[in-house]
Copies of this chain bind each other. A is one copy, B any other.
């Protein structure tokens, strides 16, 4: 019997996952208890540690063997947590990873400052790599992510957002961080430019596929599995590819009904189900699935130049899993 992709990933990742948890706790030693509480609320609430795993195995696939990959991999989980904290405040989201968002438990200013603190923590670890190129990567991540968020904010409720605009937003809000984790692994291993570029491209395609899968799940998953209500993006006025594509193909009548539902504050569950049916009928779901699948294919082909290894196997499986996951 062949094992599922998920099971294969778990088997390969388990030895590191525990070490990542330990490292995350070890480096989170702020002087103030409150910072630790707020940061821990998010950091230790069931994250999949995808970004640390990507850095660790990118480094190892490039031959890194100096033993600091676990410690340095936490950079990307802290960065991720910092942006989630700022995003929660920005989006005024109520639920994150099935728990109340931090800013509903603590005041927004405290959450913002805790985000700043986690960013500082990531930076401090990055400085310890003694690799200025990793700092440049992190600067690019921070710059793109803040711009992407502002961009997304200014586009809220905009009904005629184009596919191109959507792709630009998800690159900045998701792909650059995943890309940066992979690229930094290659930099840490001091690998040549070709391998750095390959891992950068792998991370980009994986990140794009990952976000498209996320945007699909917002329509197709249940609240229980998702850890938050489905349709949350739409409720926040964020149009994602399944909807964007369907709007360009819908009949005049269906289009105007869809726009009405999008703009309506607090639509009903029946309306949401009806909208979902239209996303299937106008192939917005299928179109997004296909595009995500293409990115997965491209991500995997970026790994071709590397010799076989367990790390390569894991990176390939993670690409497959990015669009198969249920949550």
Contact = CB atoms under 8 A, between A and B. Distances in A.
Interface of A: 30-32, 34-35, 86, 89-90, 108-110, 112-114, 116-117, 119-121, 123-124, 126-133, 135-136, 138-143, 145-147, 149-151, 153-154
Contacts of A146: 35, 113-114, 116-117, 120
A135 B127 contact: yes
A146 B113 CA distance: 5
B109 A90 contact: yes
A86 B110 contact: no
Contacts of A109: 89-90, 153
Given A90-B112, A117-B143, A119-B119, 15 more contacts: A32-B151, A34-B150, A86-B116, A109-B153, A110-B150, A117-B150, A120-B140, A121-B139, A121-B143, A123-B123, A123-B135, A124-B140, A124-B143, A127-B132, A131-B132
Contacts of A147: 30-32, 35, 113, 117
A132 B135 CA distance: 9
A86 to B, nearest CB: 6
Contacts of A143: 30, 117, 120-121, 124
Closest 4 A/B residue pairs (Cβ)? A120-B142, A124-B139, A120-B143, A127-B135
Contacts of A133: 127
A223 B126 CA distance: 43
A113 B150 contact: yes
13 contacts: A35-B150, A86-B113, A86-B116, A113-B147, A114-B150, A119-B119, A120-B140, A120-B142, A120-B146, A123-B135, A123-B142, A132-B132, A135-B135
A141 to B, nearest CB: 8
Contacts of A141: 120
A127 B151 CA distance: 25
A96 B145 CA distance: 27
Contact of A150 (B32, B124, B128, B142): B32
A127 B147 CA distance: 20
Contacts of A154: 34
Nearest to A137: B127
Contacts of A132: 127-132, 135
B116 A142 contact: yes
Contacts of A130: 132
Nearest to A32: B147
A146 B82 CA distance: 12
Which residue among A119, A128, A138 has the maximum number of chain B CB atoms within 10 Å of its CB? A119
Which residue among A31, A90, A109 has the maximum number of chain B CB atoms within 10 Å of its CB? A109
A184 to B, nearest CB: 12
Contacts of A121: 139, 143
Contacts of A127: 132-133, 135-136, 138-139
